[in-house]
Amino acid sequence: MLLRTGSKRIHLPTALALPLAVILVPLAALVALQAYQAFVRTPLLIRSQQSIDQSFELITTTQAVRSALQNAERGQRGYLLTGDPRYLQGYRNGIEQAPQQLTRLRQLSIGSPDQQRIMAILAQTIATKLREMQTTLDVYQRSGLAAAQQFMATDVGFDTMSTIERLLDATVASERERLRGRLSAAANEEASTAYNALASGLVALLLMVVGINLIVQAFHGARKMEAERRATEQRLNAQLTQTQAALAQTQKMEALGQLTGGVAHDFNNLLHVIGNAVRLLQHRLATNDAEAGQYLDMIKRSSERAAGITSRLLAFARRQPLEPQPTDVNKLVAGMSELLRHTLGESIALDTVLGGDAWMVSVDRNQLETAILNLALNARDAMPEGGKLIIETSNIYLDEPYATLHADVRAGQYAMVAVSDTGAGMTAEVAARAFDPFFTTKEPGRGTGLGLSQVFGFMKQSGGHVKIYSELAQGTTIKMYLPRLSGAASVHPIDSVQKLAVGSGESILVVEDDKDVGEFTARMLSDLGYRVGTAPNGPLALKQLEQSHGVDLLFTDVGLPEGMSGRVLADEAQRRWPRICVLYTTGYARNSIFHHGRLDPGVDLITKPFTQASLATKVRQILDGRAPPAARSTAPPERS
């Protein structure tokens, strides 16, 4: 038997077909019964309860009418007997409340013609009673108590109140009779619903027992085949584990060999100074040489240098002791500004761009400060003639596609600290080896080659991620990503499962000199419904644009080879095809790309790494906000 779940096919043993059929058919009937309960019986119960509530309210309102009239009558008589105006307050409240309650009573009795007839008579009688009470007060105020008593002796008020009482009693009696019927009907409905629920439960229990029995029997026959499959899988997994262990051992030995060679080289120099200084110190101390202190200083400096190298080696090996604590990266960077300005010197301008509400992280503050300082010093050495250094913070979400491309990254929320410079930049080969221990492009004696290694090891030990973006003659950005601290003050949660803004077949040309990045970006855009082509540089991009007579959107990296930057390419493309939209991308921090003067503020830019969701939204915003496109070729641009 074959089942489909999305794009996957599941082959079930033949023996499972009958159990599934036996279960699914009665289960469909059970679902129909539950739907009947939900959509038919439940509304009936609700309407029944509403009728009961209405009866209770009608009885309560009837009593309220009676109480209001009695309060008005007591207030009137108290005033007549005592002449105290305070009694009139009860009278006024009663004559005000009685008509209001009567109006509500008439609304509640709309469904009963008999009660409506009673309400009409009651309204006239109450109006007569209210006039009688007011007339009595008027006579009292004009002619005194004796005249009022003479008017009351006509028994008009007494007869009217007696009529009102009879009408109210009749209303309550009829409504109580209706209430008894409604309560009986509601009880029957509830009993019926309970019986149906019990029957449904028994059917479900029966189905479960039958289904389990049949499925157990079916799987019993397939047990032998499953055991053979597992044995094969275990054997293959064992072979794969052995291969991975051998590869890991090879890589480990290669790294240890490189590390050991560098350590031997540096420590030979250190031990040379220490050994000779000790021998000379021993010789001079015998003669009370006053220069002995100089050699002691040499030993001290060399020892401190050895300790520093050892500390960096431990950082690279992720074995240094850390003391993580909740840290606000904005406050940490702001607190380092003065130190960095003194360290960098006057020829380098320092700018800090702190993101609003940067997330808290759990990190060793001293080690993070050291990492930022190491990056700043490297940036300073890359700008011997001076330049600008930008330290930027922001909140970043690294999604599953990015984590798939970087095995050491877990998808989630990160606080980012980016250090950007306007220095000489790195070649792709140098950037690939920048984190290797003892690798340096500086002249001998100016560095150990462990600064970036320490940053790399510290970030990995802290559960973070570090990434280099660099272009020759343009500068370098190094981004450090630290996981957001769990339990920190909540910011709007990022929903990784969200509806993407898809395309409608628009054409996009992706210009990216990194082949893997270009192909991955093209795949993301294709999955969103766009027709996508790629080009590795500006000249080839212009050739493709000529062949396709332009595209809807040019998506280009800012830094491109072959002497044509992304900005120059975009300017030329828009000169030839004015209706082309342009979206830039770069690995540099957003503020650094503007502050370095490589793009004008306000242009459309998305920084790497970007998620498919953010790319989808950005592309859709640009395409939806453009002028109506000119007629273009419907053929998609060719991939290069």
| Torsion angle defined by CA atoms of residues 414, 452, 409 and 251, in that order, rounded to the nearest 10 degrees | -170
pLDDT bin (cut points 50, 70, 90) of residue 531 is: very high
- Both tokens assigned to 481: 């990503």
pLDDT bin (cut points 50, 70, 90) of residue 628 is: very low
* Average pLDDT for 122-128: 88
Q: Return the closest-CA partner of residue 386 out of 360, 422, 356.
A: 422
pLDDT for the residue 532: 95
Q: How far is CA 82 from CA 72, 88, 144, 298, 339, in A?
A: 16, 11, 12, 114, 91
pLDDT at 84 over 70: yes
Q: How many CB atoms lie within 10 A of CB 330?
A: 19
Residues 269, 130: Cα–Cα separation, whole Å: 116
Window from 287-301, 335-349, 503-517 with minimum mean pLDDT: 287-301
pLDDT for the residue 272: 41
Residues 179, 54: Cα–Cα separation, whole Å: 9
pLDDT bin (cut points 50, 70, 90) of residue 256 is: very low
136-194 pLDDT, tens digit per residue, is 888 888 888 888 888 877 777 788 888 888 888 888 888 888 888 878 887 887 777 77
Mean pLDDT (the chain) is: 77
Q: Tokens 């280099």 belong to which residue? A: 468
Residues 54, 44: Cα–Cα separation, whole Å: 15
* DSSP annotation of 326: E
Neighbouring-strand partners of residue 555: 510, 583
Compare 348 and 33 and report the one with higher pLDDT: 348
349-359 pLDDT, tens digit per residue, is 999 999 888 89
Q: What pTM, to 2 d.p., does this model score?
A: 0.43
pLDDT at 197 over 50: yes
